Amino acid sequence: MTESRVPRRRRFLVCEPRHFAVQYAINPWMSTGRPVDVVRALDQWQALVDTYRAHGHTVDTVAPVPGLPDMVFAANCAVVVEGRVFGSLFHAPERRPESVPFEAWFKTEGFEVQHPESVCEGEGDLVPAGRWILAGTGFRTTRAAHREVQEFFGVPVISLTLVDPYFYHLDTALFVLDDGTGMGDGNDGNIAYYPGAFSPGSREVLERLYPDAVIATREDALAFGLNSVSDGRHVFIAPEAGELAERLAARGYVPVPVDLSEFHKAGGGIKCCTQEIRESRS
């Protein structure tokens, strides 16, 4: 018998892919020889936004800037916890200018923003999960940034080492299904992840923290099945990740397929295009 899941309304920040293109190669998915269909990308992105709103979520937008083709990947711009914003300092020089319009947007909206001193790529590598933040390193975000994040938020940060270049960000290898109560009652929520993306020690950490996690195959991970967004009940997921969707459904989650395949050409998917704004619960 499956469990009954309860969704929680979320607030998301996105950026229209008006200037989306693959103009450089900074991960194994990217090839300047693969042209992007911008019209198709716009249609897919709009379908994602419409799907979020149809499920009761709030969606804000930041204006795209010419010359910043990866700005559509809004998750990389920052991580927001309890209404406080820790910004980004991208590893690739080509992406560093993206932090400026995102940080300006947050400041205009009245958020406190901290700019990192070390390389840090927002929710790409920093995944809030109840009482702690799961933090990826190995390809982009540095361990020094993990320490900065812990000092800024006062939340325990758990470092996880990524070892497969196809899963260069944590949000390509893991996502939070349910972030729990955060009340110290032992309900720390649950995750889905692909063990092969992590170092042996990091796999042991995840096994200890999440003994009931949903485990994905490499095939579903390569289909961007783990670059998903969950509201606690509905999981917005790549339609190609069929086996993972079945495993989620067996646990009582409701898979909501959304095709963002045009963005796979740049190594991104649903979560990459989605920044969650976690406001203060005062």
Residue numbers annotated as active site: 169, 272
Work out the angle at residue 142's Cα, subtended by the Cα atoms of residues 188 and 148, and round it to the nearest 5 degrees: 65
SS3 breakdown of the chain: % helix, strand, coil, rounded to 5?
Answer: 30, 20, 45
CB 122 within 8 A of CB 144: no
Q: Which residues contact 154 (CB under 8 A, 6 or more apart)?
A: none
CA 84/CA 5 separation, integer angstroms: 28
CA 168/CA 165 separation, integer angstroms: 5
CA 101/CA 94 separation, integer angstroms: 15
Cα first-last separation, the chain: 36
